[in-house]
Chain A
Amino acid sequence: MVKYTTVSIPLNLHKRIEKLLEGKSGFKSVSDYVTYVLREVVTMHETKKLPEPFNINDLKELKERLVALGYI
């Protein structure tokens, strides 16, 4: 049996999702839709590495830019 907990979202966002779901089959409720979306997002983060803030090329380009600007 799946256990559930409560998560809060802003009322405005809830209303926007309700509007999105109007007339669409497949999602029974806002909770249903939100659970689906979040599951996708969390899985993506868990299984795929997020881009690093700076890779080697980024750092090289940044240094070149700072040299071009006279900071180095």
Chain B
Amino acid sequence: MKVAVFGLDSVPPEMIFEKLLDKLPNIKKMYQKGIHGPLRTCHPPITVPAWMVMMTGKNPGKLGIYGFRHRKNNSYNEGYIVNSTHIKEKTLWEILAERGKKSIVIGVPPSYPVRHLENVTIVSCFLTPSQEKDFTNPPELKEEILRLTGGKYLFDVTFRIEDRESIKKELFEMTQKRFDVAEYLAKKQDWDFFMLHEIGFDRLHHAFWKFFDPDHPKYVKGNAYEKIDEEYYEMVDARIGRLMDLFQEDCTTFLLSDHGSAGMKGAFCVNEWLERVGYLVFKSKPHDKVEIEKAEIDWAKTKAWGWGGYYARIFFNVKGREPQGIILPEELEKEKKRLTQLILSITDQRGRQMKNHVFEPETLYGTAIGDKPDLMVYFDNLFWRSAGTVGHKSIYLDENDTGPDDSVHSMDGIFLMYNPQKNEKRNSIKARAEDIAPTILSLFGIRDGLNDLDGKILQEAIF
């Protein structure tokens, strides 16, 4: 029994099961003979923590991970970026390793700094600062990888949107090299579980969505990158085919993604809005764009502030918790409810009701440990990203305040499971990110001791 997983970051079902399926012969064969469906991701629908939710079977609240970046304790301006040392729950390859099963794990985030585990070969993810670092387990694998890739292994692309041609070149080079490493390892060593995560799709979507999606507000017909999605997806499909030729007949292969992607409609200036509704007060209102951390906020009069990103985090300024907190702890629930109602009534610049969602971590997850926000907000079903900067003339931006303005995240990624020994098309299923780890472990006959996982075994997938 072997299991292989291709983790195709940010790939939405609409792209791979619909628009491009006929151009992807290897994936199409798996689709026609296997079982597929949307994969409902976690809240929030972000690479970190979604892959770890899939690989541990535990929700973000249990992991204590709510995005790439967290607030440091209850500070106003200090934050930290999540890395592998923040993951305290066991991944499925760690559980397999305890039972003597061997795994190869390439690029699954966050996997830097590298954990030097027995029975697990690791190549770390795009959070690795450079190839100068210790990025493999075992450590000597690093030299083999550098030899294999001509001295240059790419963890990520250099994301400067003013030079899309360089992004394209690096994107293809990075992915080809990662598949070269994957083939090398798959041939070289015995394994029971094999996982390759490819971040390239996410970079493709964020850099090029408005070029290849005719429905994007900024799409221009006949542009130079109109077919870049086809080119990239086709290239990866061919490499997946080559890699699967190395897998044996008893290998079940999964294609998964951590969330979907969609065209961005706009950016909502959450802090500008909080000022307008009286929750945030400036000592000196900025007239030019500035990050919220650098703005002069009158904390003694401010009740809440927010963060930008693919979703908004809201933090309240609580007495006894924040350094200059003003909301009494017993008033916090009332303040949350009041602000929630205000958020739900926000309209877009044309006066249309935005379909906003507001979550409290404890309600979402049951338990919510670590540096969680007070509220999590999705603007207009995630079609509007959150802009955390201030100094704008409007609360609505049709361009991103910081990064690219091409794509946003959506709640459904992909689930595709193909067992070459079961050659029949089966019904589409609805899976959740938390279900992946228990389902894969059950394929190895491991069901005991998994009671504290939040996901369930996808019975319809394995029988």
Docked-complex contact A53 and B83, CB < 8 angstroms: yes
The CA of A14 and the CA of B309, in the complex, are separated in Å by 53
Q: Residue B403 contacts which of A50, A55, A62, A69 (CB distance < 8 angstroms)?
A: A69
Docked-complex contact A53 and B112, CB < 8 angstroms: yes
Docked-complex contact B161 and A58, CB < 8 angstroms: no
Docked-complex contact B404 and A66, CB < 8 angstroms: no
Which of B127-135, B341-349, B370-378, B427-435 lies at the interface? B127-135
Tell me how far the C-beta of B382 lies from the nearest C-beta in chain A, rounded to whole angstroms: 12
Report how many A-B pairs have Cβ atoms within 8 Å. Answer: 61
> By CB atoms of chain B within 10 A, which of A50, A70, A71 has the most?
A70
What B residues does A70 contact at CB under 8 A?
Answer: 206, 309-310, 385, 400, 402-404
Q: Which of A29-72 contact B (CB under 8 A)?
A: 50-51, 53-55, 58-59, 61-63, 65-72
Tell me how far the C-beta of B279 lies from the nearest C-beta in chain A, rounded to whole angstroms: 21
Q: How big is the A interface, by class? A: 10 to 19
Q: Is B159 an interface residue (CB 8 A)?
A: yes
Docked-complex contact A68 and B160, CB < 8 angstroms: yes
How many chain B residues touch the partner (CB < 8 A)? 30
Docked-complex contact A72 and B83, CB < 8 angstroms: no
The CA of A40 and the CA of B310, in the complex, are separated in Å by 49
Tell me how far the C-beta of B75 lies from the nearest C-beta in chain A, rounded to whole angstroms: 16
Docked-complex contact A53 and B68, CB < 8 angstroms: no
CB nearest to A54 among chain B residues: B129
Q: Which of B392-431 contact A (CB under 8 A)?
A: 400, 402-404
Contact flags A4-43 to B (C-beta < 8 A → 1, else 0): 0000000000000000000000000000000000000000
Docked-complex contact B46 and A62, CB < 8 angstroms: no
Q: Give chain B's interface secondary structure class.
A: loop
CB nearest to B387 among chain A residues: A70
What B residues does A67 contact at CB under 8 A?
Answer: 402-403
Docked-complex contact B129 and A62, CB < 8 angstroms: yes
Tell me how far the C-beta of A71 lies from the nearest C-beta in chain B, rounded to whole angstroms: 5
CB nearest to A65 among chain B residues: B159
The CA of A70 and the CA of B127, in the complex, are separated in Å by 15
> By CB atoms of chain B within 10 A, which of A62, A63, A71 has the most?
A71
Docked-complex contact A66 and B81, CB < 8 angstroms: yes
- Residue pairs across A and B with Cβ atoms less than 8 A apart, 8 shown, are A51-B134, A65-B156, A66-B69, A68-B159, A70-B310, A70-B403, A71-B310, A72-B308
Interface residues of A (CB under 8 A from B): 50-51, 53-55, 58-59, 61-63, 65-72
